[in-house]
Chains A and B, each alone.
Chain A
Amino acid sequence: MPRQDLTYDDVLRIVELVKTAPFSEFRLKVGDIEVHLRRRNGLDGEVQSSPAAVATARAAAPAPSAAREPERRFPEGSVLVRSPMVGTFYRAPAPDAAPFVEVGQHVEPDTTVCIIEVMKLMNSIAADTRGVVVEILAANGAHVEHGELLMAIRPDPEDG
């Protein structure tokens, strides 16, 4: 009796043949099923990504990090704030909030000067020194490397 339905099992067997057989021409006749394929030369059989998958891949790809300037020199005694980890540098606690610090601002050791987002978690970075912010070296939202310079602080002269 002829089979009335092509089953998913049949399809999967054909898929397996197409994937594994190194053919340029393929003809299959099993019962009622007839398949005839021709393959282009020189192309591997990778499945073409669907538009959704392409969009996903694009969205998931990390943004290329900008080429970095060679490390700069700062006046002697400057305290340099560096990124503790690879992450994203933020100058403000929220997109519409004022920056934590500006150049020229005086900071205490526990003043938060910026945030580094590491693996989706926010790390408040403290000044760790008493002094004046003389330079902010990373752009808001920039990808920063482990140990990258973020800010320079000129420490207050020691008392006494």
Chain B
Amino acid sequence: MKRRHGPVRPRRFDFVDVTLRDAHQCLWSTRMTTAMMTPILGAIDRAGYAYINILGGAVFDVCVRYLHENPWERVKLLCSRLATPCDALTRGQSLYTFELFPDDIVALNSQVFARLGVKVLTVYDALNDNRNIESSVRSGHEAGMKVNAMMTYTLSPVHTDAYYVERTKELVKLKADFICIKDPTGLLTPERGRTLFPAVVKAAGSVPMQLHSHCQSGLAPEVYQIAIASGFRFGYTASEPLANGASLPATEDIAARAARLGVRTAVEAAALKEVAGYFSCLCESEGKPRGEIAKYDPALYEHQIPGGMISNLRYQLQTMKLEHRLPEILEEVPRVREDLGYPIVVSPFAQYVVTQATLNVVQRERYKTIPDEIRKYAMGYYGRLAAPPSAEFLERANIRPGDVVTERPAEHIEPWIPKLRAELGASVPDEDLLLAAFYDKALLAPLRNPAPGCTFRTSPLQELIRFFGTRRDIEFAHVRFAGTEMTFSAQAS
């Protein structure tokens, strides 16, 4: 019998949709409501995605704080309406926030996911300390879900290919069903992919690899192509109008690249076109931006700050009348990052690095003020650091060797459920108990309001009418098409 040599090229590449999650998180500050999603779910379901990512930390949080939607209701509705299996992401032991939760809350969250219909639990830890996802992986499996474990990519002298191979081996050992490289700031390059991807594919063995990379540098589509050629099995992508820029690559683009490599995909072009058409119209009706292909910016590789965060920082500096200090702050960021042992510039550590850099610049003295969370981070309360902090920082923070903790971070946290049950009553639904664990009562009150109605179908004509309805300059509109005729007029104000 003839034996095959060389790398085995996968016969197919499959897609995980992020249009309902990361795409609007990056481009619309996470403000896509459930009612904006439901009309097009049928077409998304027909588009041939392997999984549809419907939840992440920011989506959960924005649902509660700003959209005043109950996030569990959204999860339940999307899971019940979509035949394609749904994927929900958490920040591991931190779930949706930046603090660490006890194991019992993490386990209850997994049970609630499974009960609401989530099929894949995707989980990451912002320090790549896999002890912080152990509890999620175990409880996700116990609840009957598959678990996709992510490791976060960053650039630093310590985040080498060997570092990621080590993390991959840990995740294989944890029995992850998928392993994903998550590149939240779009720092991967084709060159790095050529060495990193084959190395992790080999280390992952039979566990399929996924890629989740953003387009800030404009290089992500090329990077996906390298991943496909290296044997990755899945890629996270978005519908074309909500792809690119700070978002992820377009499904259409990556499917075409796979086809050119001779790799089969399951995507259905007609359904993708319908989905893209709908979201293009929605951008117009809602006055929201489309994703624009980013210009290559070499500074990105220095400060590594996600695009959304820079605009947020600029806004905050504006309110402090300190906008002119932004360039100085961006220069201070890589120095702070080195001092802090190269945290990955992703939530919440992006916030740490940027805030410390801002304090250093504004106070004209480095580390005069050090936020409590940064001291705790440096002492290991959130997990293992990629490299030891600098002597200058440790001295200013007054951290001595004896202050450093080495056990799994959640070991420090007592169970919460008994206390919450006692407070809320034994019959409180698990969903409400979790919300009470995450948020103050006052924030949860608006969630009791009835949810706005959703429609589950639409058409180009309906979207045209919706667009006219949002224009306050149009006082009269008459549309006739193929036997349909509609007239609207607005009262002159």
Q: A69 in the interface, Cβ–Cβ < 8 Å?
A: no
Which residues does chain A contribute within 8 Å of B362, judged by CB atoms? Answer: 85, 146
Q: How many residues belonging to A are interface residues under a CB distance threshold of 8 Å?
A: 53
B61–chain A nearest beta-carbon distance, Å: 12
User: Which B residue sits closest to A120, measured CB to CB?
Assistant: B351
| Stretch from A31-39, A70-78, A131-139, A152-160 contacting the other chain | A31-39
B287, closest chain A residue (CB): A47
Segment among B13-21, B150-158, B467-475 that sits at the interface with chain A: B467-475
Minimal beta-carbon separation of B343 from chain A (angstroms): 13
Interface residues of A in 82-135 (CB under 8 A from B): 84-86, 95, 115, 118-124
Name which of B80-88, B141-149, B276-284 contacts chain A.
Answer: B276-284
User: Does A66 make an interface contact (CB < 8 A)?
Assistant: no
Q: How far is the CB of B109 from chain A (nearest CB, A)?
A: 22
Contact A15 B475 (CB under 8 A): no
Q: How far is the CA of A45 from the CA of B359 in the complex (A)?
A: 42
Question: Which residues in chain A, 40-62, are within 8 Å of chain B measured between CB atoms?
Answer: 40, 43-53, 55-56, 59-60, 62
**Quick check: is B234 within 8 A (CB to CB) of the other chain?**
no
In contact, B460 and A10 (Cβ under 8 angstroms): yes
Q: Is B459 an interface residue when CB atoms closer than 8 A count as contact?
A: yes
Q: When the two chains form their complex, are residues B473 and A6 in contact, meaning their CB atoms are under 8 A apart?
A: no
A84 and B464 form a contact (CB under 8 A): no
A62 CB, nearest partner CB in chain B, Å: 6
**Bound state CA distance, A46 and B320, in angstroms?**
29
Q: Mark B344-364, 1 if CB is under 8 A from A, else 0.
A: 000000011011001100110
Number of interface residues of B (CB under 8 A): 62
**How far is B475's CA from A62's CA once the two chains are assembled, in angstroms?**
34
Contact A84 B363 (CB under 8 A): yes
Nearest residue, chain B, Cβ from A36: B478
Q: Are A35 and B478 in contact (CB under 8 A)?
A: yes
A20 within 8 A of B: no
Residues on B with C-beta less than 8 A from A52 are: 31, 33, 35, 67
Are A55 and B369 neighbours in the complex by a CB distance under 8 Å?
A: no
Considering residues B98, B276, B320, B471, which has the most beta carbons from chain A within 10 angstroms of its beta carbon? B471
Q: Do the beta carbons of B372 and A84 come within 8 Å of each other?
A: no
Interface bits A1-21 vs B (CB < 8 Å: 1, else 0): 011111111111011001100
Most B CB within 10 A of own CB, among A3, A53, A146: A53
Asked if B67 contacts A12 (CB within 8 A), the reply is no
Q: A40-B472, A84-B359 are in contact. List 14 more A-B contacts (CB 8 A).
A: A11-B460, A12-B281, A14-B464, A15-B467, A32-B482, A37-B477, A39-B474, A40-B473, A43-B472, A45-B473, A46-B287, A53-B287, A59-B66, A118-B355
Q: Which 6 residue pairs are nearest across A and B when measured between Cβ atoms?
A: A8-B277, A47-B287, A121-B371, A38-B476, A36-B478, A34-B480
B residues adjacent to A (C-beta < 8 A): 31, 33, 35, 65-68, 98, 273-274, 276-278, 280-281, 284-287, 316, 319-320, 322, 351-352, 354-355, 358-359, 362-363, 368-374, 440, 452, 459-461, 463-464, 467-468, 470-482, 490, 492
- Residue positions of A touching B, CB distance < 8 A: 2-12, 14-15, 18-19, 32-40, 43-53, 55-56, 59-60, 62, 84-86, 95, 115, 118-124, 146
